[in-house]
């Protein structure tokens, strides 16, 4: 059977769970395989699917699986790079945009990792998203 992949974006599905059709907005590799098996079960015995057509469908399935695996790997790499960039901010003076739209500055003291991703603690203010930092000194 197929190997589960992590959801793209990392927020809509639990890690290790295959994305559903609703989460990805299209057919996944499990859906594709179900359609292929259904086609084989319900084909006309007097006119079965030809070898070339079957091989073409299997090649399409293989391509879909590899693209899904590549997307999952890219997502994990992106998460690792974002975490590394945030960790590199520790000890640096930064300017960031506060929730009220004003700017503030301070020293990054800590990076916290949680279920919703990671946040910065800047001069005692916790829960600051790394994406709001606009200058590092």
Tens of pLDDT along 43-82? Answer: 777 777 677 777 887 788 888 889 989 999 999 999 899 8
Distant-in-sequence, close-in-space partners of 72: CB < 8 Å, separation ≥ 6: 5, 6, 8
CATH number of 88-136: 2.60.40, 2.30.30, 1.10.10, 1.20.120?
A: 2.30.30
pLDDT averaged over 10-residue windows placed end to end, the chain, 137 residues: 41 42 61 79 75 79 88 92 91 94 94 88 93 92
Ordered by start, the domain boundaries in the chain are 21-84, 88-136
Cβ–Cβ under 8 Å, residues 108 and 92: yes
Provide the pLDDT for residue 23. 52
Residue spans of alpha helices (H) in 88-135: none
Cβ–Cβ under 8 Å, residues 83 and 118: yes
CA distance 99 to 37: 52
Whether the full predicted model's pTM is greater than 0.85, yes or no, is no
Provide the pLDDT for residue 14. 40
Distant-in-sequence, close-in-space partners of 101: CB < 8 Å, separation ≥ 6: none
């Amino acid at each position: 059977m197929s190997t589960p992949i992590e959801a793209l974006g990392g927020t809509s599905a639990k890690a290790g769970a295959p994305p559903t059709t609703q989460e990805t907005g299209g057919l996944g590799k499990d859906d594709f395989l179900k359609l292929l098996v259904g086609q084989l079960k319900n084909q006309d015995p007097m006119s079965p699917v030809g070898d070339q057509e079957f091989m073409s469908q299997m090649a399409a399935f293989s391509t879909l699986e590899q693209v899904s695996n590549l997307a999952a790997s890219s997502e994990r790499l992106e998460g690792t790079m974002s975490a590394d960039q945030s960790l590199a901010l520790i000890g640096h003076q930064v300017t960031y945009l506060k929730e009220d739209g004003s700017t503030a500055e301070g020293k990054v003291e800590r990076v916290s990792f949680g279920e919703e991703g990671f946040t910065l603690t800047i001069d005692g203010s916790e829960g600051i998203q790394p994406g709001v930092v606009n200058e590092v000194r």
